């Protein structure tokens, strides 16, 4: 009986010590967890700030690139426009008149379009679209533009035929081939001047 009484306090002490040791471990573990969470939150904040800075820089880059592209397009437009009439003479197309930045705005018939350069004579008119880099979408847009000018001309009793040309500083081979298949003239810079490639077969008229 005396032995049991002697062992009991020791047992309780062992259990107590074990509990305190476990609590101490939990406390230390919690401290480590809190430290890790704080570190993680700090890193996430740093990543978030870095992402915001990256987004800001990208927006600034896109704006600058857009401005540069617009200015470059204007330079190309003014470089090409004055010499187009002479160049098209090589294809038997005589255009006494050339207009830059023509705008059609017919609210009554819902016809709106812009033309970079329009070459004209009494029988035909050539709509020239000028881009820094020519894409397949630009070809589609130009087809729609010519369909609109045809509709606008019919309403006004204008019987002239309309032709299309696409100019670009950079023109991928597949885009150029597509443009020529669609019946467009393709205009490309060459040294200090530019070359015009006639469409495959007969030029398309609208």
- pLDDT number for residue 169: 82
- Sorted by sequence, the CB contacts under 8 Å of residue 203 that are 6+ apart come out as 163, 183, 184, 185
- pLDDT number for residue 4: 47
In the sheet where 193-197 sits, what is the strand order?
Answer: 97-106, 111-120, 124-133, 161-170, 185-190, 193-197
CATH architecture label of 82-197 = 3-Layer(aba) Sandwich (3.40)
- pLDDT number for residue 65: 56
Please name every residue paired with 118 in a beta bridge, in sequence order, or none if there are none. Answer: 99, 127
pLDDT (tens, 9 = 90+) of the chain, 206 residues, equals 445 454 566 765 666 666 666 666 766 777 777 788 888 888 888 888 878 887 787 777 666 655 655 665 565 566 666 788 889 999 999 999 988 888 999 999 999 999 999 999 989 999 999 888 899 999 999 999 999 999 999 999 999 999 999 998 889 999 999 999 999 999 988 777 789 999 998 999 99
Quick one: tokens of 79?
């470089």
- pLDDT number for residue 17: 66
- pLDDT number for residue 191: 73
Percent of the chain with pLDDT over 70: 75
- The residue ranges of every structural domain in the chain are 82-197
Q: Please give the model's pTM, rounded to 2 decimal places.
A: 0.65
């Amino acid at each position: 009986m005396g032995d049991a009484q002697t062992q009991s306090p020791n047992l309780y002490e062992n259990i107590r010590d074990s509990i305190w040791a476990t609590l101490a471990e939990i406390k230390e573990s919690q401290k480590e967890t809190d430290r890790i969470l704080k570190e993680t939150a700090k890193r996430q904040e740093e990543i978030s700030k870095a992402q915001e800075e990256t987004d800001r820089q990208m927006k600034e880059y896109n704006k600058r690139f857009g401005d540069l592209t617009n200015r470059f397009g204007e330079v190309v437009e003014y470089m090409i426009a004055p010499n187009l009439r002479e160049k098209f003479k090589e294809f038997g197309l005589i255009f006494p008149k050339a207009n830059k930045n023509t705008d059609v705005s017919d609210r009554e018939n819902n016809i709106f379009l812009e033309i970079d350069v329009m070459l004209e004579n009494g029988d035909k008119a050539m709509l020239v679209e000028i881009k820094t880099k020519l894409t397949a979408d630009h070809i589609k847009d130009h087809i729609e533009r010519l369909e609109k000018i045809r509709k606008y001309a019919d309403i006004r009793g204008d019987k002239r035929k309309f032709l299309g040309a696409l100019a670009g500083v950079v023109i991928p081979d597949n885009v150029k081939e597509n443009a020529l298949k669609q019946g467009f003239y393709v205009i490309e810079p060459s040294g200090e001047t530019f070359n015009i490639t006639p469409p495959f077969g007969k030029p398309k008229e609208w």
